[in-house]
Structure 1
Amino acid sequence: MRRRHAGWVAGAAAAVLVAAGAVTYAVAEGTDGSVARAPGARSADAGFARDMAVHHQQAVEMSYIVRDSTKDEEVRRLAYDIAQTQANQRGMMLGWLDLWGLPKVSAEPPMTWMGMGDMASGEDGALMPGMATNKELDKLRSLNGKQAEILFLHLMTAHHRGGIHMAEGCVAKCTVRVEKRLAQGMVDAQQSEIQLMADMLKERGAQARS
């Protein structure tokens, strides 16, 4: 079990290191690889950075909730790793927005950069694909032990599926090379983590939701 988790941690760490030390090069590039310019406020690069920073913040919040709600070492370790990885990635994306001289919030609806600005209005706090509602977060806060573990694994699986969808959008649409690499690293790491969480659910007598 520890070996399985260690393999995922290595993948997650690699996703973080993809962009480490490269913040100063986070600008759009020409087709020949030459440095061109910083992306615009309505670009996919800026939209992804803004939206994924918000998406990641909820994952960090859920991770700390379950870490304090269970004594299970595997779940606590996973939650801590998710919180650290996504907090670091969030910092990178907010740092890029600063570097580009762009605001961290937009008047446009979330997901506009993916052509999904007319999606559901984020009722009860679920602003983007996979995000938990406020009601679900309140329920997670109310649970302890195995019940909290199972709900966390279900919510985080859905959260990562939504995150993968967004990251794949950046891989397809973003122009900043280092951001595209970070997005692909998110896809790879979160796909592995979804499988890990499916195994953890089985161990707790539950099944992953379709």
Structure 2
Amino acid sequence: MNGRTGWLIGGAAAVVVAAGGITAAVAATDSDGSSSSVPADSSADAGFARDMAVHHQQAVEMSYIVRDRSKNEEVRRLAYDIAQTQANQRGMLLGWLDMWDLPKVSEDAPMTWMGMGDMPPGKDGALMPGMATNAELTKLGKLSGKDAEVRYLQLMTRHHQGGVHMAKGCVKRCKVGVEHRLAEGMVNSQQSEIELMADMLKARGAKP
């Protein structure tokens, strides 16, 4: 088993565990502890779950790429943490959609649930705020060492900024208590990682 295979198996296991634990986690309670009805297909809860699952998948992909392009333990540790955390959260988001018997893909444009469905269509794979283009991902996969580390930290900083924006939208609009709390946790953890990555870029003589 090579390193990447181990990461993929670990990430898949995290998703399985997350999805398997959804029934207990989503005891569908609102923020005030009251019982929650299943959200509508057009709700912020459903929209956030769909969009953030897509957003998270790219973060996992970028983290796998840099893991194979750098030998720096600090960067590899950060990438591992991001990959594992976001694979786990993605499993939870998709698990909730399954529990709610809602489709994982919507006919609406991304970010419609935030009132941003009329923004220009994403180009080259960058479907939502902060997402990297396919060309940027391809270039990242061709870099190595410090160059790969800097580009990953820059792309992930932008990715987290977009993710924080979306998570704050859920905090404001989502009604299902457990999803609301997950979004709050995303805001806090990703803002902390943005600060960490700024320090890591500074140490490498680069800017976000």
TM-score (structure 2 length as normaliser): 0.87
> Separation in 2 of the partners of 1:115 and 1:26?
25
Of residues 25, 28, 34, the one that matches 1:26 is 28
- Equivalent residues of 1:23, 1:96 under 8 A apart: no
User: How has the CA–CA distance of structure 1 residues 98 and 203 changed in structure 2, closer, same or farther, with 3 Å as cutoff?
Assistant: same
Give the Cα–Cα distance (whole angstroms) in 2 for the partners of residues 193 and 36 of structure 1: 32
SS of aligned partner of 2:119: coil
Unaligned runs of 5+ in 2: 1-17
Contact 1:129-1:163 at 8 Å conserved across structures: yes
Describe the SS at the equivalent of 1:142: coil
State yes or no: 1:193 paired with 2:193: yes
Q: Does structure 2 conserve the Cα–Cα contact (< 8 Å) formed by 1:160 and 1:194?
A: yes
1:85 corresponds to 2:85: yes
Question: Once the two structures are superposed, what CA deviation does each residue of 1:72-125 show, in whole Å capped at 9, x if it has no partner?
Answer: 000001000000000000000000000101010001100000000011201111
Write out the 4+ residue segments of structure 1 that deviate beyond 4 Å after TM superposition: none
Count of residues paired in the alignment: 188
Give the superposition deviation at 1:32: 6.2
Q: Is the 8 A contact 2:36 2:176 kept in 1?
A: no
Letter in 2 for 1:168: K
- Does residue 97 (structure 1) correspond to residue 105 (structure 2)? The answer is no
Aligned-partner residue type, residue 165 of structure 1: H
Matched position secondary structure for 2:118: coil
Question: Deviation string for 1:22-54 (max 9, x for gaps)?
Answer: 433136x4x864214110111000000000000
**Which residue number corresponds to residue 15 of structure 2?**
none
* 2: CA distance, partners of 1:26 / 1:52: 19
Which residue of 2 is the match for residue 125 of structure 1? 125
**1:161 counterpart residue number:** 161
| 8 Å contact from structure 1 (residues 26, 179) kept in 2 | no
CA distance in 2, matches of 1:71, 1:86: 22
- Contact map agreement 2:28 2:36 (CA 8 A) in 1: no
Q: CA RMSD in A?
A: 1.6
CA distance in 1, matches of 2:122, 2:157: 19
**Residue identity matched to 1:176:** V
* Long gaps (5+) in structure 1: 1-16
